[in-house]
Amino acid sequence: MKYIFVSLILVFPACNPSAEEVTVYTSVDQIFSEPVLKDFERETGIKVKAVYDTEETKSTGVMNRLIAEKDNPQCDVFWSGDPIRNGVLQSKGITEPYQSEQTKQIPEYFKEPDNQWIGFSARARVLIYNKNLIAPDSLPESIFDFTRPRFKGKFAVANPLFGTTTFHMAAIFTALGDEKAKAWMNALKENGVVIAASNGDVKKRVMNGELAFGLTDTDDAFEAKKESDEVDYIFLDQQERGIGTLIMPNAVSLIKNAPHDENGKKLINYLLSRETEAKLAVSCAQMPLIKGTEIPGVPSLDNIKAMKIDYKQTSEKLEGIQPWLKAWIEE
């Protein structure tokens, strides 16, 4: 009898120290995003490698890094403070769709139709003002009131080449058309608008009494109110015929060919949770998008007249107006 011996070779997976990690690039302020990422790390055991934008290059730095890395992705998840940069990355084939039970909790308006990005925890553009320099009944009611002579040299906007101000300007250009939007921005300059380095810089200048008011986001305004009794904020363009205020959800995308895509999906699911929205509401007054997640003291989207925008068109407009905005800044 012939015996046939079969050798069994047991193959064990190679030890890969990076298997239980995830890399996230984020434009959200580190003071607010890092605690959430640390909680994820502690609760899942997955190590988070985070790359944060600076305040001055908000949303632009990590976006450009993702574009440069397109053919050799180093990142798994992009967590942006607004969806417009996610739209730019989508147009360049850098993101990929992701849908889970968590993504289904988010209202359709606040996510890309194919789930290339999913929104959560929104901020809004607001007017922050110094109560010692301007009375509440003397405030502008609309962004278009900023061009009135009585406000000359008394207000600020952040550099429109960066951060949420870029998103806001792209939304205005989309809503008004290029000609009217350029005329409005030129009128701002003629009326002495101060171009601040960032939304945080707008907040600081208003708080210290250098300026009467300025445009910023609800998280900066919320922090200012905690720091000083001399400042407050209002939502603009809430009249019946007003264009409404810009609502800016955070947006999260899975990067195409991500090195740790399964861990990336776990992180996305964690961000798209009621618990994360509650944390961001408490830490920086971000407004939850998941119904039933209400936090005392945080404005409800149900009570705010929102600007109607098409995120895809606005994303395309953002890229198209960059040269003009740069020239506007430098004039």
In whole angstroms, give the CA distance from residue 222 to residue 237.
Answer: 19
Give residue limits of the domains in the chain: 22-122+249-299, 123-246+322-330
pLDDT at 7 > cutoff 50: no
In the block, tokens 């720091």 appear at: 227
Closest CA to 250 of 232, 235, 237, 268: 268
Buried b (16+ CB within 10 A) or exposed e, 210-228: ebbbbbbbbbbbbbbbeee
User: Are 22-122+249-299 and 123-246+322-330 the same fold in CATH?
Assistant: yes
- pLDDT at position 19: 66
Between strands 118-130 and 231-234, the pairing is: antiparallel
Three-state DSSP class for 130?
strand
* Strand bridging mode 118-130 / 213-217: antiparallel
Contacts of 11 (CB under 8 A, 6+ apart): none
Q: In whole angstroms, what is the distance from residue 102 CA to residue 77 CA?
A: 16
Label residue 284 by pLDDT band (50, 70, 90): confident
Tens-digit pLDDT profile for residues 204-213: 999 999 999 9
Task: Check residue 294 and give its pLDDT.
Answer: 78
Choose which CATH entry (3.30.1360.230, 3.60.150.10, 3.40.190.10, 3.30.950.10) describes domain 22-122+249-299. Answer: 3.40.190.10
Per-residue pLDDT, averaged over 259-285, amounts to 95
- Can you tell me the distance from the alpha carbon of 13 to that of 278, in angstroms, rounded to the nearest whole number? 39
How confident is the prediction for the chain on average, in pLDDT?
91
SS3 of 263-280:
HHHHHHHHHCCHHHHHHH
123-246+322-330, CATH topology level: D-Maltodextrin-Binding Protein; domain 2 (3.40.190)
Whole-model pTM?
A: 0.82
pLDDT at 137 over 50: yes
- Average pLDDT for residues 110-131, to the nearest whole number? 96
Q: Which of 220, 115, 123, 203 is nearest to 157 (CA)?
A: 203
Q: What is the DSSP letter of 245?
A: B
Instruction: Reply yes or no on whether the pLDDT at 9 is more than 70.
Output: no
pLDDT at 4: 41
